[in-house]
Structure 1
Amino acid sequence: MSLRDAIDNFYERLVQDAIDATREASDTADFLTDVMCVALNRLPARYYRHTIDMMFYLADEELKEMKANSLAAVKQAREFVREHQRS
């Protein structure tokens, strides 16, 4: 196992949840993948090794703010990707 496989970015989970919450019937897998990439690039990285560590040390207010930031980033990313779709 490589060291890279031992860590994750907590925002990936939050952005995925925000994408699921804003999913539209016309969304394709390619579109949503682009949205996820754009949204994650607009957010800071929050790396962790074990999920329990993030949940234990993260204050409720901080988690609430991270979720709101993720939702805002996804909404902005959806608009950006729509405006810049490949032909």
Structure 2
Amino acid sequence: MRLSEEIHNFTEFLVGEQLHALGIHKRCDLDTLQDLCCLVLNRLPPRYIRHDVDVLSAISDAEREQLVEKTKVAIEECLQFLEQDRRQGPRN
């Protein structure tokens, strides 16, 4: 059940923004990118908002920078995990 089309997780936006900024979307296939998104989002706390402007008024620039940094760290850690896991070969 969806409460509303307007309610969304700002963390998802941050993850997508950083994947693009870091160029990871260019070096991973779709399957890996989707796995990476799930792993990263499970490591970060959700921040549900109704309108994008809500988050801009609710957090300071310093808080946003901190969220961005935590997102970058989570992306790098999860990417390393996936790369190690994929090198071990397919699972049955």
The reply to whether TM is greater than 0.5 is: yes
Matches of 2:43 and 2:26, distance apart in 1: 25
> TM-score of the superposition, structure 2-length normalised?
0.83
Q: Which ranges of structure 2 fall in alignment gaps of 5 or more residues?
A: none
Give the secondary-structure state (helix, strand or coil) at the position aligned to 2:5: helix
Larger radius of gyration: 2
1:28 has 2:64 as partner = no
Q: RMSD of aligned C-alpha atoms?
A: 1.7
Shift of 1:20: 1.4
Q: Which ranges of structure 1 fall in alignment gaps of 5 or more residues?
A: none
The alignment-based identity, stated in percent, is 30
> TM-score of the superposition, structure 1-length normalised?
0.87
- The Cα offsets for residues 43-81 of structure 1, whole Å up to 9 and x where unpaired, read as 011110111111112111000000000011100110111
Give the count of matched residue pairs: 86
Runs of 4+ residues over 4 Å off in structure 1? none
